[in-house]
Structure 1
Amino acid sequence: MHRRRRTALLLSAAIAAAPLLTACGNDARPGAAAVVGDERITVAQLENRVDEVRAAQRSAVADEAQYAQAIAKTGRLTRDTLHGMVLDRVLHRAARDAGVTVSRKEVQEMRSGLEQQVGGAKALETAWLQQYSVAPVRLDENLRLQLEAQKLAAKLGTDTSRPAFWKALSDTSQKLGVDLNPRYGSWDVEKSGRVDAKTPWVRDVTTAGQQQPA
């Protein structure tokens, strides 16, 4: 069981840092931050996710200096959050196509095990917020993602650190088609990841209250 908990922590780091693999273009439909297959991720949805993290960071620290440090460590939060939202959808589709399902009971068992490992529910929420920029309200959702990834890798006869796992996600993302709004960068197929567009007038949302230019 201890090994399973440790694997989950490592997997979260990998998911948080991994490139999105492949995509078919950077011409997202108006009003969308990205389009994954037939599903739109709206700018409002993206900004809401960022606001959730910023609010959690604000409530987790005692003073302005600590909050400023948290902001500085997550200066690319908007783009990284969009990356994660797209990757979530690609992974979920790959898992579904492979016949992988995750029950609520499995999520709760994983959460309970991690809470025991790190020292309680609050400690787990803090760890996920600080290390992976996952707001407490999204913790169960993120743990479901970890379980889907683990089960998908097992079904493929590999693990989440192996090229075979990421190739499966790459194939799925290519099948779905991923379009990114140019204000958040573009997808480099050869490098298999998001790159920043050369538009210096576009700024990332790095603090609460900042507005993304139209």
Structure 2
Amino acid sequence: MIRRRTALSVSAAALLAAAPVLTACGQTPHPGAAAVVGKERITVSELQSQVKDVREAQRAAQGEQLAANSARLSQDTLVRLIQYRIIEQAGADSGVSVTRRELQEQRARVERANGGAAAVTGRFLALGIAPDQIDRALSVDLVRAKLDNKLGAARTNELLMRTSDALRVDVNPRYGTWDAKRGTATPAREPWLRAATPDVPGAPLGPSGA
């Protein structure tokens, strides 16, 4: 069984709370790509578009003060996009997916537990996730929770590392390099997406049994 937590844990929030391993490297970049994950390119224009959406939403919501604190936003966003793809691929390989109904129900639960849609949007925005990016964040969160439920946290971590290796993530040197085994720049007992996160009651489920 899995235990509910009162934090917006796993992929939705911890992707940004956990600093990525992105350091200078000598790899040859793929023209126009911020990163390549398997056969899929994360283009520089896609990355810039997502960052622009976040900054515009932040400015509209809270003004320049919040937007000015986003110096690492491009790097954090790229890592989040990479990790999304790794988790989604691991889920597909394990027969784990999220239906539209499950996603709608999850979003409704999170909104009920956190004072409504506007409050949830604000919390995600503070984490660098724009309003139109929330559904994917929650969907990936649910995939990760299902993997934990099916395999257990330790085996899920191993699966994510194997998937990352198999996809041969290649990051443009402009943004750094990818560490498939750690997934974050800071030491953690569960290195894949298990950093401390702000409290958001009713969010997706943690890995440990109760």
1:150 aligned counterpart, secondary structure: helix
Contact 2:103 2:135 in 1 (8 A): yes
Q: Which amino acid aligns with 2:83?
A: L
Matched, 1:148 2:143: yes
> In structure 2, what is the Cα distance between the partners aligned to 1:88 and 1:50?
16
1:173 matched to which residue of 2? Answer: 164
Higher radius of gyration, 1 or 2: 1
Contact 1:27 1:180 in 2 (8 A): no
1:113 matched to which residue of 2? Answer: 109
> In structure 1, what is the Cα distance between the partners aligned to 2:71 and 2:20?
19
Deviation by residue 1:98-145 (Cα, 9 ceiling, x = unmatched) = 000101111111111111111111111011111x21100111111101
TM-score between the two structures when normalised by the length of structure 1: 0.76
Superposed counterparts of 1:53-202, under 5 Å: 53-61=54-62, 66-67=63-64, 69-130=65-126, 132-158=127-153, 163-188=154-179, 192-193=183-184
2:205 matched to which residue of 1? Answer: none
Contact 2:124 2:130 in 1 (8 A): yes
Superposed counterparts of 1:9-48, under 5 Å: 9-11=8-10, 12-18=12-18, 26-48=27-49
Q: Which amino acid aligns with 1:115?
A: E
The structure richer in helix per residue is: 1
Contact 2:18 2:185 in 1 (8 A): no
- In structure 1, runs of 5+ residues without a counterpart are 196-214
Contact 2:161 2:181 in 1 (8 A): no
1:209 matched to which residue of 2? Answer: none
> In structure 1, what is the Cα distance between the partners aligned to 2:14 and 2:159?
15
> In structure 1, what is the Cα distance between the partners aligned to 2:156 and 2:129?
23
Contact 1:186 1:194 in 2 (8 A): no
Identity of aligned residues (%): 43
Deviation by residue 1:1-46 (Cα, 9 ceiling, x = unmatched) = xx64635x1233333334668xxx9433111110001101111000
Cα gap change, 1:13 to 1:37, in 2 (>3 Å): same
2:28 aligned counterpart, secondary structure: coil
Cα gap change, 1:35 to 1:109, in 2 (>3 Å): same
Aligned residues: 180
Cα gap change, 1:115 to 1:5, in 2 (>3 Å): farther
Q: Which amino acid aligns with 1:169?
A: L
> In structure 2, what is the Cα distance between the partners aligned to 1:96 and 1:185?
27
> In structure 2, what is the Cα distance between the partners aligned to 1:18 and 1:166?
15
> In structure 2, what is the Cα distance between the partners aligned to 1:16 and 1:55?
18
TM-score between the two structures when normalised by the length of structure 2: 0.77
Q: Which amino acid aligns with 1:182?
A: P
2:136 aligned counterpart, secondary structure: helix
